[in-house]
Structure 1
């Protein structure tokens, strides 16, 4: 077991997966999440942490006081806010590993805050969905301290490699990939549901299969629908950071902005309960039929 003391800021899906994977490899594993202070959400969150053997800290300050390695795993829109909250309390010489999907400019601002406090900032670009891989999810590291952190993370079981000593390269790689991946998700939602309306889904998917035979378009479609239905809000936040990345490059983010809107729309459908009662792993047609049935509802009107 490592003598490292690891604290996760963010105890959502990614935070829970990482604490579970790191708990037995570290001398101490703690977490802080805004849900811990929310009367409506705290009971479930604290119970989960207790059952998982994770110390639920009372604040970001309390976590930073204990941790040698602080890992930020929150939604994209909170990336800078977490750095701002941690910077006054993080211990000099400790490491702040930023897993969040944010633009190079956002990561550079976060790094400046952490660096000014005497701690070491390392960005990470998480290059695919975390759940299938756990802490072995492929990630790119960036920044002046990335190379020194790399062997530590590998000893903990993480699949990391250094992208660049230049801060922002790892994030730019992740963000540009997201244009493609989240864009493909948005395209599948729109294409498949519209094809279902016209009754041409079988013929349409057959042509995709012929053009791109390496992809199982029926199976992939089901996965895309389910992931966006579950995590559309988080994905939309990421795409707004992708849009910032495109702007920072000097271009208008037409596609990234539209993708964010589509993911937001799908999240609204989920919040409205349109997918309630579906089987655990439904085919994509189950989601599409619910979307078609919900046409004209308030959620559709608000987000269309």
Structure 2
């Protein structure tokens, strides 16, 4: 039976670890946050609840698994590869599920090749929490077909795309321009509309133009919540998306703007001391009002000031 070691035990890693452990696989994990005193206890509790064995070091984690699955932030992806490659053995397999540019995956592949280590790229094509193991994943590399078959036997939803490294990641990166761009546009659009008291008419107009998307239902909350909860991580991914564009000579202006927009909301929340967890159940209007003030409060204040001016003039 395959054993799995997860490098990175955040949202994606924890869900994969918990579900694979529930199937009877032996699952190990390491996350750099466990080295920080303020987060160490929480990491151990999460691992225990998931029936995942938390390793004391990345070296221990890499030595423990047949499959080494890297699930870290985009800016750390190559660091993990450089650390893991000399520690791995030829009968182990490195599976890179990080959201990075095709050229970054190819660089990772080249590093693994120098140590004769098998490497597969995986592109996670939807948020993991709702579908968990059933989340669609694209796999690339020489062993993609064989490993996809093994993963699908575990109940996963994996499709081999190409023997060549980079194509699966290109699909993911190009999709992110649209998905994370829509999140950023919605955040900016509705935050501004709210300040003018125009959000209901704006949403009504969007619904009329795109009646099947859910502008009159839960879509605005969902899109803005993704930025509020994961904007920092998503901005790092969008840097890789911009790189994906530049690597083939395509202007990356939109992708670079999305980097800023995703990060900007999180920075504004930090400046205003707004904790995402305290916003649940999430309502985008509450978040916008906490950051920019309520237009209704401003209107009431303006009316009070007008009344005071009127009273003064009568005197």
Within 1, Cα distance between the matches of 2:67 and 2:277? 41
Give the TM-score of the pair, scaled to structure 1. Answer: 0.92
Tell me which residue corresponds to 1:210: 208
Tell me which residue corresponds to 2:280: 280
For residue 38 of structure 2, give the secondary structure of its aligned residue in structure 1. coil
How far is 1:47 from its partner? 2.1
Give the TM-score of the pair, scaled to structure 2. Answer: 0.89
Tell me which residue corresponds to 1:263: 262
Instruction: Tell which structure's C-alpha radius of gyration is larger.
Output: 2
What is the aligned length?
292
For residue 251 of structure 2, give the secondary structure of its aligned residue in structure 1. coil
For residue 222 of structure 1, give the secondary structure of its aligned residue in structure 2. helix
Within 1, Cα distance between the matches of 2:85 and 2:276? 41
Alpha-carbon displacement from aligned partner over 1:58-78 (angstroms, at most 9, x marks no partner):
222111111101111111111
How far is 1:52 from its partner? 2.1
Matching of residues 23-42 of structure 1 within 5 Å: 23-42=21-40
Within 1, Cα distance between the matches of 2:155 and 2:85? 27
How far is 1:212 from its partner? 0.4
Tell me which residue corresponds to 1:97: 95
For residue 217 of structure 1, give the secondary structure of its aligned residue in structure 2. coil
- The runs of 4+ residues in structure 1 deviating greater than 4 Å are 275-279
Calculate the aligned-residue CA RMSD, in Å.
1.5
Tell me which residue corresponds to 1:226: 225
Tell me which residue corresponds to 2:298: none
Residues 4 and 68, structure 1, Cα contact 8 Å, conserved in 2: yes
Tell me which residue corresponds to 2:169: 171
Residues 279 and 287, structure 2, Cα contact 8 Å, conserved in 1: no
* Structure with a larger share of its residues in helix: 2
Tell me which residue corresponds to 1:236: 235
Matching of residues 30-109 of structure 1 within 5 Å: 30-109=28-107
Q: 1:276 to 1:248 in 2, by over 3 A?
A: closer
Matching of residues 125-140 of structure 1 within 5 Å: 125-140=123-138
Unpaired stretches in structure 2, ≥5 consecutive residues: 295-315
Q: Is residue 2:244 matched to residue 1:245?
A: yes
Q: Quick one: which of 154, 160, 179 aligns to 2:158?
A: 160
Q: 1:27 to 1:129 in 2, by over 3 A?
A: closer
Tell me which residue corresponds to 1:299: none
Q: 1:277 to 1:114 in 2, by over 3 A?
A: closer
Tell me which residue corresponds to 1:187: 185
Within 2, Cα distance between the matches of 1:91 and 1:62? 13
